[in-house]
Chain A
Amino acid sequence: MGWRRAPSAGHRERALESVFTSSPATAGGPIIDFAADESCLAIEGLSLAYGETPALRDLTLRVPRHRVTAFIGPSGCGKSTLLRALNRLHDLNEEVVRRGEIRLEGQDIHAPEVDVAELRRRVGMVFQAPNPFPMSIYDNVAFGLRLQGGLRKRRIDDTVEWALQSAALWEEVKDRLRASAWTLSGGQQQRLVIARTLAVGPEVLLLDEPASALDPISTLKIEELIRNLKSRLSLVLVTHNMQQAARVSDYTAFLQRGELVEYGPTQTLFTNPRLARTENYITGRMT
């Protein structure tokens, strides 16, 4: 890295102070907590702003291992921002200022010795719109593997097959691995992107509204895939679709205006929310 010079630390601190000092004390509802050995990701007092515009305020939560955790909330509540903070995709945006810590398996992901590329291999991400690269299906899945270098062709072949099977796409594409990825349908493309991410062996998979651009059948397939994947890794799902969150997630965090409002087991949060703000949102009464 080091292509763009980061603003000096002093400058960054001052910017943070001016943005976050006005942050009101959150009237955070009862928040579920996991022991350190149950959680893969721990977020501690995370605040984040785009320039002068705060996006996240003093967020603290832990993401459980081998579970699906959903972030829900109205547009602009910061759920996508939070997701992108988890694999440091904000690094590219010079405007973004941050305070607080994110720990992956106990290690601060912003520590200077952390290799961002390695972090992103461990915390994979699938985006809202399917974004396969303009190359063959095979090359898409092998992309991340080839970046690591030094792998034998045989090994790559095996991993590509395994990843496509894991993403429930193998049967549909095994006869045309050399075809352009852009010939696939939207749902297939999204599963291809998931396979591509799985191929590099992540511990955590971040899904940013992975089904919002897909038809209902494709959405169901993706949801089924998400449920099947949690035996292997931890998943974090951002979604607008409350039914989807209820269907696939084990835990749900409700965010509003950059703050964590309520966080608990999905069942509890949807049937018996503790805060009126949560209830209003999930029952469709906007505040």
Chain B
Amino acid sequence: MRPFLTRRRGEGPWPWLAAGSVALSLSMLAGLLLLLAVGGLGHFWPAEVSEVTPREGAPFAGIPVREERVVGSERRERLYFTGNLDLDGERWRWIPLDAIAALEAPPELVVLERRRWGDFLGHLVALEDGGRRHAGAAAWPALEERLATLETLRDERDHLRDAVVAPLVRRLEQGGDPAAAAELARANARIRELQTAMQGATLVLESVDGRRLEQPLAEVLRAWRPNAMSPPQKLAAWGRGVWRFLSEGPRAANSAGGVWPAIFGTVMMVLLMSVVVTPFGVLAGIYLNEVARQGPFTRLVRIGVRNLAGVPSIVYGVFGLGVFVHGIGGSLDAWFFADSLPSPTFGTGGLLWASLTLALLTLPVVIVATEEGLARVPEHQREGALALGATRMEMLTRVVLPMTVPAMLTGLILAVARAAGEVAPLMLVGVAKLAPQVPVDGEFPFLHLERKFMHLGYHIYDTAFHGDDVQAAMPLVYATALLLVLVILVLNLTAIFLRHHLRARHGVASRA
């Protein structure tokens, strides 16, 4: 008798190929995220400082960064971040592993983050404050206490400068106002007072090889002793570092400090773009699918729209520059802001023009998604509404469109994903290397559409390729890239959550 169960007919290599390509894509994606996370987040960890004694020459303090093989030999060498730009003239040092005589990690080594010259690595000898001198073991507690005081003074000064002085200055520029002038004078006096209070104290520092340095305390931002920190303290310091990166503006030509203006600019631009692109895209989709007579012309328009999605983004940037910035912006300036010419108001790149350009760029995506959503609404739903005496308009607004909202949101998600990562067109229509003032503040009209803004994508480009110290910028580039991915993720998750909520309410089955 023939066996009932014969060998399964082979399905060939296809399942394996398909599964393999999915696995490959996912692992590449995971690898990318891991690279960004490790490269970016590690930067904020207070790494241990070694005191390196070479076989020849003076000892130095440094934070090991990475090791590489010396080209053309078996020897390996290690890169140290040594800081002390003012003493050594450079911040990095390669040393072959076999040239190291001794490695130590003395707990008293300090790292100072300074406003000028970058970080200092070495010993703290004394803190001189007016006539008093804290030396030896007393120096570190005194320094910590003074830094805390400095921080509060600095916060008050920055607050005064951004929230009080800047608006007053703009008010005065627009017209004389004696009250404002008096207020400004008061604020400036207080700022000078604060500045004076910050001055005075000096640190006496000594590098590992014994060179002395006098450092004004006002220029020191932070100080820590990584070798003396316990893991929880390090974790707390790491958290503070990440928070500063997220909440502060950039310093030192974008090679240090945080990226808050760039986060804000990116999100603001994407939101503005969404506000513009959604109504236009949805209305265009409705017209094409529901209103227009279907024929060769609508087919042509549809093909055109789908092809527009493939136009390189820089082309949109050039269009935005020509039409929005120079055309419309130039005219607006001539009509409404003639007083401030020749310095342009809207006639230069800005948040509004960048958002409009990106809205144009993402319009096809939203139109296509809306059309597909409309086409998915079953005919019997439309007929049901009509049979109850609804006009075509009522049928659209009360039955068809509510069922299409999830599809529109899908379109918006795709649009956001594309817009948030776009850099090339922005370089033409309004992104800035440094624009510490975010485009929203407490001053009328609160949202400043004409201002230039910072963008995470452009920030990555600028930090990575236009800094003077690529080594120092690299971790920031990783961290910024990770952040950009996260920002897009959060924006998308918001839309997905909204879509899920709506879909549960309207019960429309649709994928993606």
Contact = CB atoms under 8 A, between A and B. Distances in A.
Interface string A113-141: 00011101100110101011111000000
A200 B388 CA distance: 7
A87 interface: yes
A5 interface: yes
Nearest to A148: B389
A124 B506 contact: no
A148 B389 CA distance: 9
Interface in A229-278: none
Contact of A3 (B384, B386, B392, B506): B392
Given A127-B380, A129-B380, A131-B380, A89 B387 contact: yes
Contacts of A134: 402-403, 505-508
Contacts of B507: 134, 180, 182
A134 B509 CA distance: 11
Contact of B386 (A5, A89, A148): A89
A94 B290 CA distance: 13
Nearest to B394: A147
B390 A92 contact: no
Given A92-B386, A134-B506, A117 B391 contact: yes
Contacts of A5: 293
Contacts of B385: 133, 143
B385 to A, nearest CB: 7
B380 A118 contact: no
B299 interface: no
A193 B383 CA distance: 12
Contacts of B389: 117-118, 120-121, 144, 147-148, 200
A144 B508 CA distance: 21
Interface string A140-184: 000110011000000000000000000000000000000010100
B399 interface: yes
Interface centre among B398, B403, B508 (most CB of A within 10 A): B398
A144 B388 contact: yes
A19 to B, nearest CB: 21
A197 B388 contact: yes
Contact of A197 (B290, B387, B394, B399): B387
A124 B293 CA distance: 27
A1 interface: yes
A1 B388 contact: no
Interface string B427-465: 000000000000000000000000000000000000000
A262 to B, nearest CB: 29
Contacts of A180: 507
B22 interface: no
Contacts of A11: none
Given A89-B383, A134-B402, A134-B506, A143 B391 contact: no
Contact of B388 (A4, A92, A121, A182): A121
Given A3-B291, A134-B507, A124 B380 contact: no
B383 A131 contact: yes
Contacts of B403: 134
Contacts of B380: 127, 129, 131
Nearest to B290: A3
B453 to A, nearest CB: 41
A149 B399 CA distance: 16
A213 to B, nearest CB: 11
B381 interface: yes
A133 B394 contact: no
A191 interface: no
A5 B293 CA distance: 8
A91 to B, nearest CB: 9
B378 interface: yes
A196 interface: yes
A142 B185 CA distance: 67
A249 B329 CA distance: 72
B347 to A, nearest CB: 41
Interface in B384-427: 384-392, 394, 398-399, 402-403
Contacts of B383: 89, 125, 127, 131
Interface string B257-283: 000000000000000000000000000
Nearest to B293: A4
A193 B384 contact: yes
A200 B385 CA distance: 12
A124 B385 CA distance: 11
Contact of A127 (B384, B391, B392, B508): B384
Interface of B: 290-291, 293, 378, 380-381, 383-392, 394, 398-399, 402-403, 505-508
Interface of A: 1, 3-5, 87, 89, 92, 94, 116-118, 120-121, 124-125, 127, 129, 131-135, 143-144, 147-148, 180, 182, 193, 196-197, 200
30 contacts: A1-B391, A3-B291, A4-B293, A89-B387, A92-B386, A116-B391, A117-B389, A117-B390, A120-B386, A121-B388, A121-B389, A124-B387, A125-B383, A125-B387, A127-B380, A131-B378, A131-B380, A131-B384, A133-B399, A134-B403, A134-B508, A135-B402, A135-B506, A144-B388, A144-B390, A147-B390, A180-B507, A197-B387, A197-B388, A200-B388
Given A129-B380, A134-B506, 17 more contacts: A1-B391, A5-B293, A89-B386, A116-B391, A117-B389, A117-B390, A117-B391, A121-B389, A127-B387, A131-B378, A131-B383, A132-B384, A133-B381, A135-B506, A180-B507, A182-B507, A197-B387
